Amino acid sequence: MESLKEKVTIITGGAGGFGRATALLFAKYGAKLVLADLNNTGAEAVAEECKKAGLPSDDILTVEANITKEDDRKKIIEDCISKFGRLDVLINNAGIGRIASLMNTPPDVYDAEMDLNVKAQLYMTQLAVPHLKATKGNIVNLASIASEEVFIEFGVYGISKAAVAMFTKTLALEMAEFGVRVNEAWSCAYKLL
C-alpha cells in the first residue's frame, strides 16, 4: 500500500459507500484525492474525514459533477490536472441500482442505470487514459457479483455490471502495451437493499 503515497487518484461517486471507504483507505496511505460526486456536500464531508485521517488539505479536491454529462466529466479531469499536474489512478465507482423485475423495468430506469454504470465509465476512462499512459497508471472499475450471479429484481443492474466486467477485460488488453493496469473490484452493497 506504500505505493499509493502521492498517487493522484480520481474517485467517482466519492461522497459515500464504496467511494467513501476507498477515499479513507487511500488517504491513510498518502494518496492525493479528487472526489467527484453529484452530491458535493457529501464529497466535502468525506474530504473532511480524510483530513482528520491525516491527509493534508492541499492533497484533496472535491468536484461537483454528474458523470453522465460530458462537460462534467471533462471538468473532473481538467480540475485534477490543474491542481495536481498528473493522474495516476482512476476509480470508476459511481453507479446506481434500482429494484425492479426485468418485465417491470421502465425505459427511463434502464437508461439511467446503463448511462451511469456503463457509458459514464467508458467516457470517463477515455478522458483519463492519455494522462494514465503518461504515468503508467491504474484504472479500477466497480463491477459486482451480480455480473455473474442472478438476483431477482436486480436484472438491469446485473446486465450493467456484466457490461462493466467485459469492458474491464477488454480495456486491460488494450492498455497492457502502455503499462496501464486495469482491474475490477466488486461491491456487495446490493445485499443490503
H-helix or E-strand containing 183? strand 181-187
In this prediction, residue 3 has a pLDDT band, given cuts at 50, 70 and 90, of: confident
Catalytic amino acids? 157
Q: What does the pLDDT look like over 34-59, one tens digit per residue? A: 999 999 999 999 999 999 999 999 99
pLDDT, tens digit, 9 for 90 and up, residues 138-164: 999 987 555 555 557 666 888 888 999
Instruction: Report yes or no on whether pTM surpasses 0.85.
Output: yes
Q: What are the DSSP calls for 138-159, one per residue?
A: EEEEEEEGGGTS--TTBHHHHH
Q: Minimal CA–CA distance to 46: which of 67, 62, 66, 70?
A: 62
Q: Show the domains of the chain with their CATH numbers.
A: 2-192 (3.40.50.720)
Tell me how far apart the alpha carbons of residues 34 and 74 are, in angstroms, rounded to a whole number.
13
* Res 143: pLDDT: 76
Question: How many CB atoms sit inside 10 A of residue 41's CB?
Answer: 10
Closest CA to 14 of 140, 148, 178, 173: 140
Report which of 19, 25, 179, 21 is spatially closest to residue 88, judged by C-alpha positions: 179
For the chain, count helices (H), then strands (E). 6, 6
